[in-house]
């Protein structure tokens, strides 16, 4: 019985590690994309002329996509509740499951 509990705990930690890695990639990708879009808006000679409204729309869509992904991804593998803003969390604040 103890072996099964350890396997489940290991699986939860592995699942959380995947979620955390995806979260970090999403944060980095979103930040870099927002900066690139801001550069394009301020320097139209880089990629050609784009309407500022188009760039603003792209930034809003990018942020909306990140928020949606965050809601979907950043959940406890066991209780499925939101983990919260802490990227380095070690224990779920809802079910007290060890995540790392």
Q: Quote the pTM value.
A: 0.79
Q: What is the pLDDT of residue 55?
A: 83
Domain ranges of the chain: 8-100
* Better-predicted residue by pLDDT, 4 or 28: 28
**Range 17-23 contact pairs with CB under 8 angstroms and sequence separation of 24 or more:** 17/100, 19/73, 19/74, 19/75, 19/77, 20/87, 22/73, 23/70, 23/73, 23/74, 23/87
pLDDT over 70 (residue 86): yes
Give 7-58 pLDDT, tens digit per residue: 888 899 999 999 999 999 999 999 999 998 888 877 766 666 667 778 888 8
One DSSP character per residue, 5-68 reads: HHHHHHHHHHHHHHHHHHHHHHHHHHHHHHHHHHHHHH-TTTT----HHHHHHHHHHHHHHHHH
Q: How far apart are CA 17 and CA 70, in angstroms?
A: 15
Place 62 in a pLDDT band, splitting at 50, 70 and 90. very high
């Amino acid at each position: 019985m103890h072996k099964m509990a350890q396997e489940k705990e290991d699986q939860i930690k592995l699942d959380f590690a995947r979620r955390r890695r995806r979260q970090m990639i999403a944060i980095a990708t979103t930040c870099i994309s927002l900066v690139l879009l801001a550069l394009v808006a301020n320097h139209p000679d880089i990629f050609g002329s784009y309407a500022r409204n188009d760039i603003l729309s792209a930034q809003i869509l990018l942020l909306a996509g990140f928020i949606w992904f965050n809601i979907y991804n950043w959940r406890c593998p066991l209780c499925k509740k939101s983990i919260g803003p802490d990227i380095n969390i070690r224990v779920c604040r809802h079910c007290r499951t060890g995540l790392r």
